[in-house]
């Protein structure tokens, strides 16, 4: 089957799939404490997710990242990972991976490795128990650290994703860098994005530019830009003193749209072809229109890719997070980070 190519000539090779909007944490930059979740009947079943993801793999998607909400809290999620493992074995899929808060990794790390997962992104913004509780509201740090150890023991490569937060990350960035160096984990910092309504004041309070973070890092380390790109949104620097590579994801600058090869599927079957645009295509309707064959679905996928925009539209202009046209109303936990 022909690979998916968008109107700007970008081949779509990477699908991120949110398998649930639910989560066992309530991170302050992601959710409000009293989040309302989608009714269960709106969520795709695991069988439907299998059919959809398999259609994308048939269309040339080589990398699948499972996310959420918290993917590992979805009931029976390992059966889905096992199902996707068959695409690894057939050679159609080059990588099956996930982004997780780590709370359930202790339980699942060995199974994930068994089905063919090789790397896992764990979101961890702090190594301080009190701060962890403050930022995640419901999370407990020791549980996540045990999960990371289990992942390591199962042979999974761990990448830590830390959201850059004013004050908190400023105080702790060197501890995180040193801990990752000691444990052998990769580390990427992410700029807070204006997604979901958690209150505008909160956003401005939270935002800490990665330019500032980088400048702080340079006070203590010699930074060398890593020029080769991985195809993803991150830019990397090497710390000469430790040899570590540190990633920066700054979605607010338009530095990766032109090479963007990814699309995102929500747990309700909406396909977002750009994280920073509101538009989406409803693949659930096409999926449910015919259970006999995938012709309708295949057409709907191709039509959706034809709508992929050239770039995104985030804007914190004039110091106001969430100005018209610059804020995305859905939460990150809905689209999957």
With contacts defined by CB under 6 A, name the span among 12-20, 63-71, 216-224, 272-280 that binds ligand SF4: 63-71
**Is 193 a residue that touches ligand SAM (CB under 6 A)?**
yes
**Is 190 a residue that touches ligand SAM (CB under 6 A)?**
yes
Q: Which is nearer to ligand SF4, 68 or 116 (CB)?
A: 68
**Is 70 a residue that touches ligand SAM (CB under 6 A)?**
yes
Site for ligand SF4 in 183-212 (CB under 6 A): none
Residue 67 binds: one of ligand SF4, ligand SAM, none (C-beta under 5 to 8 A by kind): ligand SAM
- Could you tell me the smallest distance in angstroms from the CB atom of residue 337 to ligand SF4? 7
β-strand partners of 272: 264
**Is 337 a residue that touches ligand SAM (CB under 6 A)?**
yes
Single residue of 30, 271, 321, 328 touching ligand SF4 by CB under 6 A: 30
**Is 73 a residue that touches ligand SAM (CB under 6 A)?**
no
**Is 336 a residue that touches ligand SF4 (CB under 6 A)?**
no
Site string for ligand SF4, 112-131 (x = CB under 6 A): -----------x--------
The answer to whether residues 74 and 119 touch, using CB atoms and an 8 Å cutoff, is no
193 is annotated as contributing to ligand binding = yes
**Is 15 a residue that touches ligand SAM (CB under 6 A)?**
no
> What are the residues binding ligand SAM (CB under 6 A)?
23, 29-30, 67-68, 70, 99-101, 123, 161, 163, 190, 192-193, 195, 332-333, 336-337
């Amino acid at each position: 089957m022909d690979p998916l190519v968008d109107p700007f000539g970008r081949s779509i090779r990477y699908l991120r799939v949110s398998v649930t909007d639910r989560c066992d944490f309530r991170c302050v930059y992601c959710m409000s404490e009293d989040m309302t979740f989608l009714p269960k009947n709106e969520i795709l079943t695991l069988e439907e997710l299998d059919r959809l993801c398999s259609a994308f793999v048939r269309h040339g998607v080589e990398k699948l990242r499972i996310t959420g909400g918290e993917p590992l809290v979805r009931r029976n999620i390992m059966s889905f990972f096992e199902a996707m493992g068959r695409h690894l074995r057939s050679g159609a899929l080059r990588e099956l991976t996930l982004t997780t808060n780590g709370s359930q990794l202790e339980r699942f790390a060995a199974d994930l490795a068994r089905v063919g997962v090789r790397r896992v992104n764990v979101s961890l913004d702090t190594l301080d128990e009190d701060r962890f509780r403050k930022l995640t509201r419901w999370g407990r740090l020791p549980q996540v650290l045990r999960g990371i150890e289990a992942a390591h023991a199962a042979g999974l490569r761990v990448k830590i994703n830390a959201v850059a937060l004013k004050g908190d990350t400023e105080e702790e960035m060197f501890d995180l860098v040193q801990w990752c160096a000691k444990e052998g984990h990769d580390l990427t910092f992410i700029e807070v994005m204006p997604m979901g309504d958690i209150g505008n004041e909160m956003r401005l309070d939270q935002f800490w530019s990665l330019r500032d973070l980088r400048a702080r890092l340079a006070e203590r380390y010699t930074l060398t830009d890593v020029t080769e790109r991985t195809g993803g949104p991150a830019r990397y620097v090497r710390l000469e003193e430790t040899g570590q590579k540190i990633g920066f994801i700054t979605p607010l600058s338009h530095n990766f749209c032109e090479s963007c090869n990814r699309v995102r599927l929500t747990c309700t079957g909406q396909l977002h072809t750009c994280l920073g645009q509101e538009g989406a295509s409803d693949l659930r309707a096409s999926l449910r229109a015919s259970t006999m064959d995938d012709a309708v679905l295949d057409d709907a996928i191709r039509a959706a890719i034809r709508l992929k925009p050239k770039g995104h539209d985030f804007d914190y202009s004039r110091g106001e997070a969430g100005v018209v046209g610059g804020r995305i109303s859905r939460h990150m936990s809905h689209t999957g980070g």
